[in-house]
A and B are shown apart, each in its own frame.
Chain A
Amino acid sequence: MKKKFVKRLAAGIFATVLTVGALAGCGSKAVENTAAQDAAVEETTVQETAEPEAPAEDAAKAQTKETGTDEAVAAEGEVTTIYAATGGSPKPFTFVDDSNELTGHNIELIKAIFDKLPQYKLEIEVTDFASIFAGLDSDRYQIGVNNFAKNEQRKEKYLFTDPIFANEYVAIFAKDNKKAETIESWDDLAGLKTISQAGINITTALENYNTANPDKSIVIEYSESDLVLQIQDVEAGKYDFVLMDKPMFEYYQNEFNFNVTGITISNDVSKDLMEEPYSYLIVSAGNEQLVDDINKALKEVIEEGTSKEINEKWFGSDYSPSYE
């Protein structure tokens, strides 16, 4: 009687070890195994739960899995699937609209770029913001599209395309704040306290400024809290100011009409301090070819005026970077 029990135990233990192996990532066999086990479950459930587009996307993914190995060996001229990731915010750069379609300035622009690149098939996934970076590290995604700014650390890890958007920042102060009257450039912000989310372009701009001006630094408090709350904190005087993309601030004011003033931080002044007030697409390491292709297409998109159209649609004025 003991034998039976032990046998059962051994079978169970084998399964356990397999799953533990999968978690630790020490065996690709284990990974495939888990996938195979769950694939059946997945197939039936996805169709019930997902939006109309999702099954098609899954099918496409499944296909890449099958052909994945051949593709890696790479017959050129074949269509390569590129996975782009976005956080789905902030609007109007990237967001999901009322009809459940991913859209926004960045999204339309990247689509316009890939329209010119028939050798690639673009798949855009919405994920948690921080996951974009982790996904680029692991090459799960090849492109990050979330109005990203550039800094030194990022330059080491990721590849950057040419700029896609010439940013303008506004510093938002409470209306009755006297400090607001004297602000014209980044220097005037020195010593003031602000709040910002880790990883986003504004924070990168602030950090770049601080690195360049260690003696006149801006006090940054990091938070995951929503911008509405951040602006309310500024209204209440908890922080001196909060920095925002200018076009975004206009959208927010439209929706909430806060009791604040936005002061445009002039780019001319900021250019010396922050060499590049632009936004970019970021590409995972090792995809130099992809970056070249995107840059070529991007240039066309800007020169033929598609970029201008997209900008005017979302912001009312043109923020396209110029090539001079």
Chain B
Amino acid sequence: MSKIFDWQLVFTQIPAVLKYLPVTLELTAIAMIIGWIVGLLIAIVKIHNVPILKQISTAFVSVIRGTPIIVQLYLTYFGIPIALKYINYYYGTSYNVNGIPPIIFAIVALGLNQSAFDSETIRAAILSVEKGQVEAAKSLGMNGIQIFKRVIVPQAVTVAIPSLGNSLIGLVKGTSLAFTCSVVEITAQGKILAGNSYRYFEVYCSLAIIYFVLTIAIERVFTYIEKKMSVPEDVETEKKGRLPKKEGLSSELG
């Protein structure tokens, strides 16, 4: 009986898989940024109770959170061409999305998925800032943007960072589904390699190692950021806390 499990291959094929690491990172980074931006917008809409938009975002968030990413990838990558087929048929147009690189569909789907989860985190973080502080800032004459930048963001970010890190880790692993849109990232490359060697189990072990290391790296980065962010709380509160207020006051007066 020959080798059922080729443990050496688990390590020797890692470089071949890693060739596609940039694709995974690209998917993750761009989707993360989309997630934060759209998530922030949704959070603001919800907090400020903007009519209509609030309902739309609520529906959006619940649909996205209520369906698996793989289904969303299918819907974006294959749903849009189907919709266009109908549009072309009924309106005699000839839109064609086949020219758009598949990775864009994956990025958009992952980014929007991320935004739904991040929006709740961001909303909770913003709401965690005491109302009294906002009122105080107002009484000092700060305008909305100033309050947002100087009072809300520094505090909200500290609250949001752990959850955002959490969802980023989820996103890294979510990118492994991008192969459904024919985007070849590390998992897809693993499957392709195994298609040649028949060694699927070995490839999944290699992938486990890679994702694990990636996740640890992200965890570290976020722990570091968290530490940095939380410093003013105990030591330099007075100094840092006072400065912006003075500035705000003087600029308003000047």
Q: Which residues of A contact B (CB under 8 A)?
A: 1-2, 4-5, 8-9, 12-13, 15-17, 19-20, 22-23, 25-26, 28, 31-32, 34-35, 38-39, 41-42, 45-46, 48-49, 58, 61-66, 68-69, 72-73, 83, 85, 87-91, 94-98, 125-128, 130-131, 134-135, 137-140, 226-229, 232, 251-252, 255-259
Contacts and interface: CB of A to CB of B under 8 A. Distances in A.
Contact of B57 (A1, A16, A34, A255): A16
Main secondary structure of the interface of B (DSSP, over half): helix
A131 B94 contact: no
Q: Which of B48, B79, B109 has the most CB of A within 10 A?
A: B79
10 shortest interchain CB distances as A-B pairs = A65-B99, A89-B195, A1-B143, A226-B200, A127-B182, A5-B144, A138-B81, A25-B83, A68-B96, A49-B22
Contacts of A61: 98-99, 101
Interface string B91-115: 0011111111101100111001000
Q: Which of B60, B78, B193, B195 has the most CB of A within 10 A?
A: B195
Given A1-B144, A9-B44, A45-B26, A228 B201 contact: yes
Interface of B: 1-4, 20, 22-23, 26, 30, 38, 41-42, 44-45, 48, 50, 53, 56-57, 60, 72, 74-85, 87, 93-101, 103-104, 107-109, 112, 143-145, 179-182, 184, 188, 191-201
Main secondary structure of the interface of A (DSSP, over half): helix
A256 B76 contact: no
Contacts of A229: 200-201
A42 B104 contact: yes
Contacts of A140: 77-78, 81, 98
Contact of A126 (B79, B93, B182): B182
B99 A16 contact: no
7 contacts: A15-B41, A19-B38, A19-B112, A42-B104, A45-B26, A228-B199, A229-B200
Q: Which of B45, B101, B109 has the most CB of A within 10 A?
A: B101
B85 A139 contact: yes
Nearest to A96: B192
B93 A28 contact: yes
Given A95-B195, A140-B77, A64 B145 contact: no
Given A1-B143, A23-B108, A28-B87, A135 B78 contact: yes
Contacts of B38: 15-16, 19
